Structure 1
């Protein structure tokens, strides 16, 4: 494990390979292990796989910060001017915030299963699930809280738990338990967001690939559609038969799609 220091702690990250740098940014509540099946699948690139603050082996934040700072802290630590960013869910919002606030640091974007950091929830499935999850949190029921996380972001609105690959579900449960037991605080420090994100999307001038599972919740599908339709050089890839955790449920296709996109940008295609 490598460490990149910030004001009140450090970011843990993997540094694998040589070539144009690609930073992988994981989902909220999980950690950088979501990318295990991608780590060694990008020969010719320098893969930088980082735990966000308050996740995995990174420090729990004690002071306010912005989502995109996890990216800029890592790039500054390594002396890198820019990188390709591949973000899933929370990691995608951090990547997008970086592109909006620090466009010179971003060479290209892959966003999987997310909106901007100013996400909004309207579907009965997500709104109801979030309410139940908050009830579990209020009652200090960690098991219930994590199960609702899995129902929302692994199973999704169109599948029951037994219809999901049990290895994917259990791996996500283990990561969520680690976050709950190692980083939960009575008054957690939450990351700040880039300002006015939806109205600034047309300012993004790097290519963007959006990825979404066919079985993803409608809120995320709608938000990602909105991003792709607004960013000037963007396209959307819909993965059949999978939900929110696209890179874990269909790792080979996910890796191939991202590699093809990056190879086109880096001239390796």
Structure 2
């Protein structure tokens, strides 16, 4: 556990020590915690100092309170750990916050790897919001979900929690064109475990007094400012609207490399670790670290 900007963050370090070792920081997304990188840490640790951490409200970190910016927290974490520059590897909205950090403090970032990434300032199309509602929110009812989120339901119904978690994991991790049976059982179990804990905390009130904010002005109109090598990775089975964001990133960031992995949904690092690691290590091998 480490104190960053007044909050307690859970984190892990592995790999090569010493002040001169190149650093890779792994940032998870909104439906996972740092365990999403279980297949990357041991491989990267052979060559790099590897840091993974939990967002506030996720994994072992404290609850989020008040207004905060995840990209600023990431940069502050680097300060506390004595890291001057790092390669930032982000999954889902971990990619979004990594990109925001690179735009806010470009001198701190050596390279970016954005996997199934979000993008600050991006407006999700109506079709995506409708599909998300149909496949996830309606499973326990939009009204009941709203009551959980607002704290109006005093006692969490375990059946509601399981239905909601299963719907989200199937929709995102498997992808809208696949089902639970298409995922390795170990992937399903870990993805469900991570999101279940996040949802339990959210419905119990751990997020209600917090207000996260993205970079201002946001990254969607500033991709031309990114001046570091960037790898954009996505899974072919991910939600089309999320794949479209990967296409925007690959086209908008100067000299970005885009890679799409087959038979993978929103979490290719977890679902297809061998392929993801190969692409990641090949990319890192091109950098002067």
- Does TM, normalized by the shorter one, top 0.5? yes
**In structure 1, C-alpha distance between the alignment counterparts of 2:169 and 2:240, rounded to whole Å:** 17
Instruction: Give 3-state SS (helix, strand or coil) of 2:70's partner.
Output: coil
2:133 and 2:62 mapped to 1: Cα distance?
26
Q: 1:5 aligned to 2:27?
A: no
Q: Aligned in 2, Cα 1:183/1:266: closer, same or farther, shift over 3 Å?
A: farther
Q: Distance in 1 between matches of 2:52 and 2:133?
A: 28
1:38–1:157 Cα change, 3 Å: same
- Does residue 213 (structure 1) correspond to residue 235 (structure 2)? The answer is yes
Contact 2:120 2:220 in 1 (8 A): no
| Residue pairs, 1:102-251, within 5 angstroms | 102-122=105-125, 124=127, 126-130=129-133, 132-133=136-137, 135=142, 136-140=144-148, 141-184=160-203, 185=205, 187-195=208-216, 196-251=218-273
CA distance in 2, matches of 1:197, 1:29: 21
Secondary structure at the aligned position of 1:10 is classed as strand
2:173 touches 2:238 (CA, 8 Å); kept in 1?
Answer: no
8 Å CA contact 1:8–1:63 kept in 2: the answer is: no
Runs of at least 4 residues off by over 6 Å: none
* Residues 126 and 183 (structure 1), Cα distance of their counterparts in 2 relative to 1, 3 Å cut: closer
TM-score scaled by length of structure 2: 0.86
In structure 2, the residue matched to 1:46 is: 49
- Largest Rg, 1 or 2: 2
Query: Structure 1: where are the runs of 5+ without partners?
Result: none
- Is the 2:122–2:220 contact (alpha carbons within 8 Å) kept by the matching residues of 1? no
Determine the C-alpha separation between the residues in 2 that align with 1:266 and 1:178.
39
For 1:50-61, list aligned pairs within 5 A: 50-61=53-64
Deviation at 1:133, TM superposition (A): 2.0
| SS of residue paired to 1:209 | strand
Q: Deviations over 1:199-219 (max 9, x none)?
A: 111000001000011111111
Q: CA offset at residue 130 of structure 1? A: 3.3
Instruction: Tell me how far 1:97 sits from its aligned partner.
Output: 0.7
Residue-by-residue CA offset, 1:6-57 (whole Å, 9 max, x unaligned): 2342111111011200000112121000101111101110000111111101
In 2, distance between residues paired with 1:112 and 1:237? Answer: 9
Return the TM-score normalized by structure 1. Answer: 0.92
The two structures, once aligned, show a CA RMSD in angstroms of: 1.8
Q: Deviations over 1:127-164 (max 9, x none)?
A: 33236527152253323332232132112111022122
The answer to whether the 8 A contact 2:95-2:113 is kept is yes
| 2:181 aligned counterpart, secondary structure | helix
Q: Distance in 2 between the 1:173 and 1:262 partners?
A: 30
Do the aligned residues in 2 keep the contact of 1:26 with 1:34 (CA within 8 Å)?
yes
Q: For residues 62 and 236 of structure 1, what CA distance do their matches in structure 2 show?
A: 36
